[in-house]
Structure 1
């Protein structure tokens, strides 16, 4: 008897938390659609996962700072006859220059990548998930979503949006078997700080604040399968997040679901 393996689409899959999710989902019996800008890194990851886990891997290069990329990406998925059972919206970046000194193209790319593309990709996969009565979406937010805004940075506001949007979608979709989780990691060992040029500052932080990418992925995957709309991985991060927000996540979620006067 043959069974169809579920397929997971992971953005930003070439390194860090995205690559860790790809590894975890391959181990868990999923085929993969690996998405990032760096084709060579994706090809290397795909070859390893095929050899180690027998995973069918489709490599699709895309620059999600391009407004047309989400629709083009999903068109390519459809052309190959694939359906998305799991979506991991992981691709991210952060500006490091002052707002007034940053070209608008840089700021627009940041917003497009981490707000518009995240929301649009979810919008593109949800109808089929809802029709099947099953689906999983993990949106990468951040511990920064619970913190005060950082001077000059859009990052905190962007990740706060992802946190709220994910909970709103989960409220709507959970009755249809589709779980949505905002995964809110703190400092994670990856290439993020190298790419953003903040490695020197990050390296001065205490080691207790840091997590490995595979640990973050494991907690996020467990959370979405348990139907948790918010996941803050790591004990230290949980303590920090609760200290920054007086109303617990679960209470916020229940209040938001029950007190919305505009609910359909």
Structure 2
């Protein structure tokens, strides 16, 4: 979609330094959006901003920030107001999962993950949706996961957090759609990125065949197209959609058994 209606629009993307976040930056920039790139690694953001400017001639603003610090979202909101930058589209992509059970992690570790996966995207929506509503147009993509539908893993809070994102996004879409703000819960499955390497489980997942994995560029492009079409939930990939359909009709006892055996589907 290279639509002139998106010219002079700005998208804010969290977790933009690599993987799906960087891919979203490229697809939005290729569709005439300026970008606000948010992540901790400033060097990565600098490199991506230069790439986007060369390739698409758009304006790219870098906000190096740790979203798990107190008042991080409020600080981003205030800084953008000071720069007179209005946010027309929001991509909540930042996140990670703890590679340890509930009792093995400290409360600080669990609290930080919940904050980044649940509180931060919800607050960003709450702060930037009013401006979209005032301008009569907006797009919000909250990156969930097929984990929102899947069997649990012992002691993992990741599926629960992604389930919150899924349901929160649907609730927001029901409220904001009459104001011409489209909200999408994007649910990718296994995606080639630094996510699993950061978790320390890349080697553990290496036995999964290549055809089960999607690339970040495809996930982001499908997400962009879906939100522009007005879809409120999009599951990336035919295999992932088949899995989700199976999860929906799977008896809870079967789900529990799969989770107990730690079977990765």
The aligned counterpart of 2:82 is: 79
Residue pairs, 1:235-246, within 5 angstroms: 235-246=238-249
For structure 2, list consecutive stretches of 5 or more residues without a partner in the other structure. Answer: 1-5, 251-265
TM-score (norm 2): 0.90
Residue 60 of structure 1 pairs with residue 60 of structure 2: no
TM-score (norm 1): 0.91
Q: What's the CA shift for 1:67?
A: 3.4
The aligned counterpart of 1:113 is: 116
CA deviations over 1:54-79 (Å, ceiling 9, x no partner): 01000001111223111111111111
CA contact (8 A) 1:12 1:90 kept: yes
Residue 147 of structure 1 pairs with residue 150 of structure 2: yes
Taking the aligned partners of 2:244 and 2:68, their CA distance within structure 1 comes to 29
The aligned counterpart of 1:178 is: 181
Aligned-residue RMSD, C-alpha:
1.2
CA contact (8 A) 1:66 1:112 kept: no
Decide which of 111, 124, 127 is 1:124's aligned counterpart. Answer: 127
For structure 1, list consecutive stretches of 5 or more residues without a partner in the other structure. Answer: 248-264
The aligned counterpart of 1:104 is: 107
Taking the aligned partners of 1:230 and 1:112, their CA distance within structure 2 comes to 23
Taking the aligned partners of 1:105 and 1:141, their CA distance within structure 2 comes to 22
CA contact (8 A) 1:17 1:217 kept: yes
Q: What's the CA shift for 1:4?
A: 5.9
Taking the aligned partners of 1:84 and 1:22, their CA distance within structure 2 comes to 14
Q: What's the CA shift for 1:98?
A: 1.9
CA contact (8 A) 1:16 1:213 kept: yes
| Structure 1 counterpart SS, 2:69 | coil
Taking the aligned partners of 1:4 and 1:206, their CA distance within structure 2 comes to 40
